[in-house]
Chain A
Amino acid sequence: MNLSMNNSMNLQRITISLPGYVYEKLVKQIPPRKVSHFVATVLEEKLLSSYIKSADPIDEFLKLRKKVPKFSFKEIKEAINRGRE
């Protein structure tokens, strides 16, 4: 299959609104003729990762208990407040 031809045949044009600061960063960092490709790549990554992460977020979070070192409440509280003294 000719993938590039297949992709170009399925292109959809959309109009999107962006916050001003995001737009400024976009036009500074991405050449004008590559904006569509960049946006499509970022969107695809984001959409695929949200599909992969469809497991329950609390289960995914608590799974980390197996790999993290453990701390006392006093140590946790000190870490939260560090730098405020």
Chain B
Amino acid sequence: MKNIIIDASFILQALLSPESNVSIVSKKIFKDQKNKRIKIYSTSFMPLEIANGLRFSFKEQKLAEEIFSKFALLKIEYFTLNSQHIQNVLSMSCDLKTTVYDTSYHFLAMLLGGVFYTCDKEYFQKAKKEENIVLVK
């Protein structure tokens, strides 16, 4: 079974982008997961990033809370990186000149032998020489 790793920007882009491409991809991968063709993973801090993104995107608190409650029902397996993993993420982020947060998703994809689905063009440009990453446009 293929593993797909998603970050907070992928989820928020699926909902908040004026373009519908990412929402189409997100719908497909969650349906594929329902049909047991793939498994969707993320890091354990991704819900915090989603909450922060909502907190600073919306003036309307109720809307942000409603979105988070629907997000929380999505079937995503959260993976907590241990200190050895984080040591590797730190080295990788120094090599790639990226943030530890962004790199941790990519590292998780490498760890699980999966593919990191991101909408972050800047991260993708810096990290595309590594494998296990796809830019969703």
Report B's interface with A, CB cutoff 8 A: 8-9, 12-18, 20, 23, 26-27, 30-31, 34, 49-50, 52-58, 63, 66-67, 70-71, 73-75, 101, 119-121
Per-residue interface assignment for chain A, residues 55 to 66, with 1 indicating a CB less than 8 Å from any chain B CB and 0 otherwise: 011111110110
List the A side residues contacting B14 at CB < 8 Å: 61-62
The SS class assigned to the B binding surface is: helix
Assess whether A16 is interfacial by the CB under 8 Å rule: no
For residue A56, give the distance in angstroms from its CB to the closest CB of chain B.
Answer: 7
Assess whether A40 is interfacial by the CB under 8 Å rule: no
Known: A70-B18, A75-B57. A80 touches B12 (CB 8 A): yes
Assess whether A83 is interfacial by the CB under 8 Å rule: yes
Assess whether A11 is interfacial by the CB under 8 Å rule: no
Whether A79 and B75, one on each chain, are in contact in the complex, defined by CB atoms closer than 8 angstroms, is: no
Whether A76 and B73, one on each chain, are in contact in the complex, defined by CB atoms closer than 8 angstroms, is: no
Residues 27-85 (chain A) with a chain B CB within 8 angstroms: 53, 56-62, 64-65, 67-73, 75-84
